[in-house]
Amino acid sequence: MKVFLDHASTTPLRPVAKQALLEGLGVSANPSSVHTLGQQTRHMLEDARDSIAKSLDCNRSEVIFNSGGTESDNQAIKGLYWQRNKDKDRKIIISAKTEHHAVLDTIEWLEKSQKAKPVWVDVDSRGELNYQQLETLISDHGDEIALISLMWANNETGVITDIQHVCQLAREQSIPVHSDAIAAAGHMPISFKDSGLAAMTVSGHKLGAPIGIAVLIVGRSVKLESLVHGGGQERAMRSGTMNYPLALSFAAALEESVEQLDWRERELGKLRDYLETKVAKLIPEVEFTTSGANRLQDNSHMIFPGCQGDSLLFLLDLAGVEVSTGSACQAGVIGPSHVLMAMGKTEEEANGCLRITLGYNSTKADVDAFLDAIESAYAGAKRAGMSAR
């Protein structure tokens, strides 16, 4: 029997999400149709929108459905950049090298094709943002900045960014801020209304909904150029027939994750601390990369010296334990963790990382299975050495 400890890549479908999906699939009509069945599916879609708005503390009109986190990040960053350059040249985009590639690659595309000027805010050795540098950049270049995009919690390390502080700094120069909140939503308190954000990305499959559904939360006063043109659905920001079954499923998964947030994250924090205490005793040379940082309760990020993380992952997989070495979106891409490199780690150190992420159905037995396997897996990975790449 496999033990799954890679919830940051995707998390198993929640029973409530499956039930909601089946309910939606039981009715077949276009939500834009005016006949009875069409209006029935429209009500389903709008009920999902209301639920998501309540869970994320935003207005229902701010919820824009789309296909996934990558599309949401692209839509927010490109849309804000194009809108901000309509009446004045604002070429600077502020972000950090620890962002997900959905953000990094989008900004780099804008640099190559649209003359954007990326400016990367530093992070320290624990992965925490240099807020003083950000404040100086805003003060010195405020009228040149198109937007700021910084993730609420890092998908690899779990380190949390003070988004309210970022938005407070940006507000002085009326700079819109986007946040990829995919790793944060459902794992820490999130209020779009109180954040000050212009746009925020949340993805369903990280919460226990199916793959293929996400939302971009866009402030009511925010203008955003669209990526997809057509029928004008979703405030004309994302045209196309709306996927009400997936929207229902997403809403159910998000609602349950928010309802259970306090007690479940508290329990996952205890489980994570138990895991790290035991690993430190079994393998004293292990390094916990974000020790002392403000981080999510469900994430443990480690470096195992003298081995390749991929070798360690493979040996753990053979033992029936599924973890990851970083972002699943970069699976199969050979190279060190870009997040750890941005944190000042050497390439060798960045190649030896392992990410363990817990989820709503994780148990002590799951963690014990990892602990039972890690010593022999590490010994095997060290014998293989650093020559796997």
Does residue 31 contact residue 42 with C-beta atoms inside 8 Å? yes
Q: Rounded to whole angstroms, how far apart are CA atoms 255 and 106?
A: 30
Compute the C-alpha angle 270/272/274, nearest 5°.
70
DSSP code, position 176: -
Distance of CA 265 to the CA centre of its chain: 17
Active site residue 353: no
From the candidates 58, 167, 307, 329, give the one annotated as an active-site residue: 329
Kind and range of the H or E run holding 194: helix 192-195
Q: Which residue has the tokens 């490109």?
A: 78
- On whether the CB atoms of residues 385 and 348 are closer than 8 A, the answer is no
Residue 201: closest CA among 240, 250, 241, 165: 250
Alpha carbon 10 to its chain centroid, in Å, reads: 10
3-class secondary structure, 146: strand
Element (H or E) spanning 75, and its range?
helix 69-84
Exposed/middle/buried for residue 12 (C-beta within 10 Å: 0-12, 13-18, 19+): middle
Cα–Cα distance, 215 to 210 (Å, whole number): 13
Amino acid at 164: Q
Nearest CA to 138 among 119, 117, 161, 111?
Answer: 119
Angle, alpha carbons 344-348-351 (nearest 5°): 95
The residues pairing with 299 across neighbouring beta strands, listed in sequence order, are 357
Which residues does the annotation mark as catalytic? Answer: 329
